[in-house]
Amino acid sequence: LALLLDGKKLAAVINDGIKKDLAELRKSSGRRPVLACVSIGQDPSCHLYCRTQARAAQELGIEYKLIQCPADIQEHELADRISGFNADDGIDAVMIQHPLPQGLCRETVMEFLSPRKDVEGMHPESLGKVLLGVSRIAPCTAQACFEILKHHDIKLYGREAVVVGHSNVVGKPLALMLLREMATTTVCHIATSEAHHLQEHVQRADILVVAVGKPNVIKGSWVKEGAVVIDVGINRVGESVVGDVEFEEASRRASAITPVPGGVGPVTVAVLMRNVVELFRSGIMR
């Protein structure tokens, strides 16, 4: 049976590092970091993320400020509010909670934010640095997947990596990170499925990362013997939460696999908090 890649354990390791760094930074700056979270509208998944982030921040000694905006906020009003945060020395890091209400474009909204406060790594400058391989703050979920692989010493050089899902927030940046490590990287998306080629790509994968958001989109029987599987998907099915991969069958074939929940999710939150500390540190040094 596959080794379980336990995200809670890795998150605890990252959090230990954060606590050490924060103790020093608080001594030198005399204050604690502040993360502002902008939540627009009333999406229930947004509320859940905010609660999880607020708890994680509190446990680490990071101040969490929730800024609630109405769903019908105009783009220029949001731009004004975000420039206020950019100019506010009492705020170190800003995140814009997703999904955004209809009528607001994520890419446009991210450009309102200063890259110096972009804790999610979603500003075009931050994404450009991921492309160039010089990033300090990368999109948190993509970074979390990458760190799970690194933490478990999973060899990437020369291996077949297949990423299913090409969103700007997970699939694309992760593919760039895998490429930088010289994995032979294939990116699949809806057109791959529609052309009936998804199975053949998945079957070749030594490293398989799935970030789609559809339960069981990857059949367990497609997983190559000995593959490493990172399942990013979070899907509510009845009372339970499942990933995108048929877990039981996949874990009989894979050498290692992330559980859902308890895999990528906790590492993503830890990476987000570490990004807050990183922005706090560079703010102090400026």
Nearer to ligand NAP among residue 220 and residue 233 (C-beta):
233
- Using CA atoms, how far apart are residues 160 and 223, in angstroms rounded to an integer? 13
Task: Kindly state whether residue 106 participates in binding ligand NAP, applying the rule CB under 6 A.
Answer: no
Q: State whether residue 208 is helix, strand or coil.
A: strand
The residues, ordered by sequence, that sit 6+ positions from 181 with a Cβ below 8 Å of its Cβ are 156, 157
- Give the footprint of ligand NAP on residues 216-255 (CB under 6 A): 217, 232-235
Choice from 211, 227, 256, 270 touching ligand NAP (CB under 6 A)? 211
Amino acid (1-letter code) at residue 243 = G
Per-residue interface string for the shown chain with ligand NAP, residues 178-207, x marking contact by CB under 6 A: ----------xxx-xx----x---------
CB of 29 to ligand NAP, least distance (A): 29
CB of 23 to ligand NAP, least distance (A): 27
- Give the footprint of ligand NAP on residues 137-156 (CB under 6 A): 141
- Using CA atoms, how far apart are residues 140 and 190, in angstroms rounded to an integer? 23
- Using CA atoms, how far apart are residues 144 and 269, in angstroms rounded to an integer? 9
Task: Kindly state whether residue 5 participates in binding ligand NAP, applying the rule CB under 6 A.
Answer: no
For the record, the structure tokens of 61 come out as 């000694």
CA separation, residue 166 to residues 85, 182, 189, 212 (Å): 30, 19, 6, 8
For the record, the structure tokens of 175 come out as 């593919």
Using the structure block, give the residue that is written with the tokens 């692989």: 149
Amino acid (1-letter code) at residue 144 = A
Nearer to ligand NAP among residue 156 and residue 164 (C-beta):
164
| Residues that contact ligand NAP, how many (by CB under 6 A) | 26
Task: Kindly state whether residue 169 participates in binding ligand NAP, applying the rule CB under 6 A.
Answer: yes
CB of 116 to ligand NAP, least distance (A): 23
The residue ranges that bind ligand NAP (CB under 6 A) are: 141, 164-167, 169-171, 188-190, 192-193, 198, 211-214, 217, 232-235, 264-265, 268
